[in-house]
Structure 1
């Protein structure tokens, strides 16, 4: 979900951006929780309504059959009361009696066909099955037979509006659900974000990582401990990986304890001026090592591999190239935009267009 009206029309800042999945999951949970107490009662009422409708239709059929029998009896009496001498009258009454019998026979056949096609009365086991199915609302909601149109119809029947407010660049989102009837539900949900530095608990996370690293823990062990303590990554999916721990330690300038010491570089292959080991450049720019490898494949940056084992990558990046890479990251992440004069004095624009090179410059330099 994006609120980009001002940006699209005037070049102003983007208002809010939210991954749809996290909000959809929250709203679905709220709707199912609201419907759960009434699910059993609704299912039983539905079964009772089916039986009531069937009883009403059966009553109409009984009245029609009764009326047909009355017509047959009247025609028979009229025929038997006719004088034998009045043969023309007797023949007419006989025809009326035969027509009444034929109509009664046709109506009876229609009634039998209706009984065969109409659903039978619900048994106790069937009522129990309906109750069990109603109790499993999440299963019914996710069933292939339930379409998106069905889900939207249910949501619109119980929810009037949904208001969200993202807390800055963090992962926290204040959600207000306005229910039909005037009630409101206020909750805070978590959205996936791109930069782990924007996490609301990032200072505590970095402090905890530094504390464990100073105690001699390696990144793999630190990541496992963070997952045990309940920390979540920026994207919210999966556990915290050791690469994130390594990046935070590199930025803080904290020595990293390895489970096994890395092989020293041969003097002929050692990084020269304006050259970086691939993981150190990723930490300097605040991207993943996968991003650096992708840039190598695309030809955006140049590098070389060690000629000896373990053939690690060494990337060439002077200060000018670093600035270009940071500007590219800035553009890709949507932090640079043309500003309409209407928003020239907006304080959000100032922070929106700050140079990330100054903003995220680490205290320790890893290049030579």
Structure 2
């Protein structure tokens, strides 16, 4: 706490100030010393820089204040907060694409292994439903891939060349702003000299010149404020030292990022060096999360990532998926084969995993796509062309009901196979097996007759 007081003291930067705190009447209570609040630096009554030798410059002091304000322990709008040990890569810099508020975090799952970005401002402030929730794992993986790809040496060279051009344009604009500020100050100084030169007896002229002087001062102050706002919105300029550091970072970043000694908080710190914030919106496009990365340079890039859905009604490309399954089914592909082809073509199942034969069978059943049977749409024959028996054929051969044949298959008394789920059974029966099973059936019937 004492070190923080040193960092927040402007005397440490060689400045004399007055008015850092003041009384807030709305917080004052009778007989108590409460009600003292901090005042923003821009509202200090007196701020004399370089009043005495300091340990750091005023610019370093202001940078420290911005960092201290950003490292708030509690959630606060406009501040990313200090990077923490949680797995969510965008903690503190995720922004809701629906309402523009900063998103908070929560972790789900039995062991809290699954981070989720939440926009709960509407619920907290108005008691309404959540604005949106975005699962973090797929989004974090995409952002990580984009950052590592952007910081490879070749991309860094291109980015530095573009940054050099931006720097030249920024310097030209800075010169134009400097001329505007100088012009406004000159006009204010000229008005002051005119006011000082007038005789006190000429009160009417003096009042007119005083009003003109005040107007010039207001104009000069407005120009300086506009200049300050413009500088705050300008892209980050990169010097020679930063260029060399970025080139070295591009060569070593993948190794550093994936090192076992690099913690989640370290990765977040690295990320914040290049990314200012990431805007998320999972309701803009069906089945996708739309995200916009705002880089520290001021540039932006838009991306999409397929999200997990609970139902195929929200699947990103359901029409193309259905058409592809119909085409592959018409080519007499089995469900497992269709699933393998879909995976090769880049399709992903609803919950974000690879397709399996069971997924294809479920979709065919839901959409009413008939299976491609061995015998087309005809009834099952007694025996298949390869000599195996159908369910009906085995039941007739053994003197059983079809349901009993299914029971024998489940108990392992019969050996059979299906080309795919929903396909007809092909049961292997030798003459010896047929004789043994017929005897078993006769003994079972005889035992039941004696028992009755």
Using structure 2 for the length normalisation, give the TM-score.
0.36
Q: Looking at both structures, which has the greater relative contact order when contacts are Cα pairs under 8 Å and sequence separation is at least 6?
A: 1
More helix per residue: 1 or 2? Answer: 1
Using structure 1 for the length normalisation, give the TM-score.
0.43
